[in-house]
Structure 1
Amino acid sequence: MATVLNFSGKTPSQRMCLKPMAGPAISSMAIKRTCQFEQNKRDALQHCIYVKRKAENKQLNDHRLFPVMAAVQRSSGIYPSSPSPSDTIKKFYKCINEKNLKQLGDYISEDCYIEECSFNTPLQGKKEVMNFFEQLITGMGQNVKFCIQRVCEGDELIGAANWHMEWKDKQIPYTRGCSFFEFSKKGEKIILKKAQIVIESPIKPGTVVLSLLKTVTALFDGFPKTTDWFLKSPHIVFQWLWKIYTILFAPIVDSYLRLWSLAARLLSYAYYIVLYIAKFFFK
């Protein structure tokens, strides 16, 4: 505020001269700028949060979408599936049922080893194994097929199958079996390296087996040294038993078998005669 004196003879008067008040104006501008800065800061922070959430949502959607797309691609055949033991086992028995020896040979390795419980010695080598399967396929005829019930697989290219044989979709008694397979890789496919085949026995001794087991274990426990020698070299004992059999029992058994062979031949002739007569009268 300023005071002006007038000496012109008039009553002195006071005039108010209003000048800009610099202090409050500067403070107001500073406050406005501070508020604007805080607003810009909040806007920038909100924008950063928005961008971050958008990126997280996109990443989450990508993770959710990938398994679905992968499943679709696998199902549509975009990704080629590698052969598995279970698939190879199914194809293996399919070749047997279709009597396709050429394709069956592609699944057998050169050093294949098969333990078939119906044989005294294992089958070794591809040639011997293929000869066995050729005889098997010939013996199956046109109507007998393998029916796979269950197939399972484990680690390191190992698989197993539970099966039985059928004639025109009807199960044949005493033909249930279980096969255990060990495979090896050959390029992009897997081939049979080793197998163990267990077939159901038509003889059902029942509790006799348990009684026999009890007797044998009692003998083993009573003569441990002899048992240890026997288990280390059982072939020697069987060789001596075979010699005793050939000397004492073989002639009797051979004559008995020849008699049964003759009886079976006569029965087969009688069967064919009856079948021929039945066809003649029941056309």
Structure 2
Amino acid sequence: MVATALHFGAISSVIPLNNLARVSKEGRRGPSTIPPPSAGPLFRSGSRISRAPATAPIIRAAAEVQTTEDALMKASTAADVVREFYDGINRRDLAAVEPLISEDCVYEDLVFPRPFVGRKAILDFFKKFTESFGTDHQFVIDNISNEDSSAVGVTWHLEWRGRPFPFSRGCSFYSLRVQEGKRQIVYARDCVEPAVKPGHSALAIIQGVSWILQQFPQLADWL
């Protein structure tokens, strides 16, 4: 009897009493108290066994995505993308320029009455532009901003065989966004030096137009 009592006492220290009752009544053990293997990795703390939250893999995946985006930010700055853009135009390599431009990019060249909308329209414009100039014409960047990760300002001029080309100075603004796993140009505006420079007469023209609008404000709807 003593041996039997010790035997059942040892079992009761391992198997809960409610499970013992189920074993004696149903001839099998009750439900296991060990968590299912899909809940996450086990951790032991003293005599207790616990399991990490099921959200741990999601948190790790999010951290990996953020790490990838941070690496992208460092590897390719907005100024780098714009430099690659000018380099591709100079080499007449539109295949290299294409991935730098967003599918829905808007490109404003103020020489033209309307902006070019969409990657295809912009590439068609630059194809005509590069075909109208020989390979002796090259864009030269004078200054470029580096501080902003999503916007870049550039001053530039055009050269022919290393010499400044007449009436070819300009400045451009570019807005960029990370999409499709890379940083792309989503908006651009070019302001080019005019061949005709009105000088002080431009102020008189502005003053005259302002006076007309003050007298006939309804004309502003035509602007």
Mapping of residues 56-71 of structure 1, within 5 Å: none
Mapping of residues 26-45 of structure 1, within 5 Å: none
1:231 aligns with 2:220: yes
SS where residue 174 of structure 1 aligns?
coil
Mapping of residues 3-152 of structure 1, within 5 Å: 81-152=74-145
* Aligned 8 A contact 1:97 1:146 in 2: yes
Rg comparison, structure with higher value: 1
- The equivalent residue for 2:189 is 196
* Aligned 8 A contact 1:153 1:159 in 2: yes
TM-score by length of 1: 0.51
Structure 2, unmatched stretches of 5+, are: 1-70
SS where residue 196 of structure 2 aligns?
coil
Q: Distance in 1 between matches of 2:163 and 2:138?
A: 10
Q: Deviations over 1:175-221 (max 9, x none)?
A: 00111001111244211101011000010111111111111111122
Shift of 1:231: 2.6
Q: Greater RCO between the two (CA within 8 Å, min separation 6)?
A: 2
SS where residue 220 of structure 2 aligns?
helix
Q: Which of 172, 188, 191 is residue 179 of structure 1 equivalent to? A: 172
Q: Distance in 2 between matches of 1:156 and 1:98?
A: 26
Q: Distance in 2 between matches of 1:100 and 1:145?
A: 13
- The equivalent residue for 2:60 is none
* Aligned 8 A contact 2:100 2:183 in 1: yes
**Aligned Cα root-mean-square deviation (Å):** 1.7
* Aligned 8 A contact 1:82 1:188 in 2: no
Paired residues, number: 152
Higher strand share: 2
* Aligned 8 A contact 2:152 2:173 in 1: yes
Q: Distance in 2 between matches of 1:90 and 1:133?
A: 16
Look up the equivalent residue of 1:140 and give its one-letter code: F
Higher helix share: 1
Consecutive aligned runs of 4 or more in structure 1 exceeding 3 Å deviation: 153-156
Structure 1, unmatched stretches of 5+, are: 1-78, 235-283
Q: Deviations over 1:75-114 (max 9, x none)?
A: xxxx883311111111110000111110100101110101
- The equivalent residue for 1:207 is 200
